[in-house]
Amino acid sequence: MKLFGTALLAVGLTLTGCSGSDDKAADPNEKVTLTYGVWDQNQKQAMQELAAAFTQNHPNITVDVQLTPWEGYWTKLKAAVTGGAAPDVFWMNGPNFQLYASNKVIAPNPEQVDASVYPKALVDLYTFEGKQYGLPKDMDTIGVWYNKKLFDAKKVAYPSDGWTWADFQDAAAKLTDAKAGVYGTAAELTSFQEYQYNTIAQAGGYVISPDGKKSGYDDPKTIAGLKFWTDLLDKKQSPDLKTMTDTVPLQLFESGKVAMYWGGSWNVSEFTQNEYTKDKVDVAPLPKGEKQATIIHGVANVVGAKSAHPQQAWEFVKFLGSQPAADILGKSGPIPAYNGTQKAWVAKYPNLKLQTFLDEVSYAVPFPVSKNTAAWNEAELTYLTKAWNGQQPVDQASTELAKAMNDLLAKE
């Protein structure tokens, strides 16, 4: 799932007074209704199907799927947590996870489960202080969506599985047509999940150290990952920042003004329904820098620490993380996280090389997070905007960002 606007990914919250529920044995005959908080209207029907399937095998437990659109989800959840009325089970994302786990808003798993059935990077993303929280629901990786019509018009070969940064840069140069108002690609700044984080990893750099205490933005390799994009801006093979602010790159791609768009596996629904792109696009893996890398993210289902029915809630989470649940999800929703259940998702769109997104999992890098991701997400946008609009060289902007980010991390 795309995390819209990296600086707004995590809501900077102070969550206190959220101790766990009393540990009471559940009465197997007690009739219980669990609340389940989700944010995606497109997935609501699938979530209701999963809830119904769970109730078939647990007739004393019904599940009320409660949809709050992404724009208001975290604000509403904060209010619910503060008032002691958070859902029994709800969706969690990587940028918010450590904040909620460290403040004991969500409960660690009460028993050990076989985590090997999920990509390790996702399991690691939802592990805090050695404890696993919830279970991965879905996953997404990043690829290069490309416009075959524009490639054909310029007689540029379609991307191959083993292509490199140099190959991508060469294609961007050939596909850029100033007279036609067409750019080879778009160096977007507000979607780090799709852009900067990937090239930083491909360059051998890092955003945040494994212990969550140090910024990597002053590392020369990290800076090289950012320079990949600013070079494209300097060569006018990408729209400038103002143009991309006025018209987001997704819209430019869907109107034939951008030939290569770095996007997620979630874009398949959008591009197959859009009148312009539905018969003109395909997807390739991200190009290789010093190494191959893609950012992986995915939603986890977690249990609220104040749930009045923690055992039933955990049973529901275990079901949501099971193979039968993943099979249901894969027929209509995003890529299921459960290994080996993604074939239905790939088969649904036979004209696209969606296996690309699955093959990338083997070299995927977890989404970078800390206890207060939101604070330094905002700093990323503030400092790197100066490089993207030409106010500062990228190495200077990135080094200043590292200092500001280190100060923020020290306060965690």
pLDDT of residue 229: 98
Tell the burial category of 362 from Cβ atoms under 10 Å away from its Cβ (0-12, 13-18, 19+). Answer: exposed
In which band, very low, low, confident or very high, does the pLDDT at 11 lie, cut at 50, 70 and 90? very low
Q: Supply the DSSP string of 343-378, one letter for each residue.
A: HHHHHT-TTS-THHHHHGGGGEEEPP--TTHHHHHH
Average pLDDT, the chain: 93
In which band, very low, low, confident or very high, does the pLDDT at 30 lie, cut at 50, 70 and 90? confident
251-307, pLDDT tens digit by residue?
999 999 999 999 999 999 899 999 999 999 999 999 999 999 999 999 999 999 999
**131 residue type, one letter:** K
pLDDT of residue 7: 37
pLDDT of residue 333: 77
pLDDT over 50 (residue 398): yes
387 contacts 227 by C-beta, under 8 angstroms: no
pLDDT cut 90: percent of the chain above it: 90
89 contacts 304 by C-beta, under 8 angstroms: yes
Residues near 37 by beta carbon (within 8 Å), at least 6 away in sequence:
66, 68, 73, 77, 86, 87, 89, 90, 91
pLDDT of residue 332: 81
> Mapping DSSP to helix (H, G, I), strand (E, B) and coil, where does residue 64 land?
strand
314 contacts 110 by C-beta, under 8 angstroms: yes
In which band, very low, low, confident or very high, does the pLDDT at 28 lie, cut at 50, 70 and 90? low
* Number of residues assigned to the chain: 412
Residue bearing tokens 């951008």: 258
Residues near 294 by beta carbon (within 8 Å), at least 6 away in sequence:
141, 142, 143, 198, 201, 285, 286, 360, 363, 364, 365
Mean pLDDT of 210-214: 94
pLDDT of residue 25: 60
**pTM (2 d.p.):** 0.90
181 contacts 163 by C-beta, under 8 angstroms: no
pLDDT of residue 21: 46
| Backbone torsions φ then ψ of 148, nearest 5 degrees | -65, -35
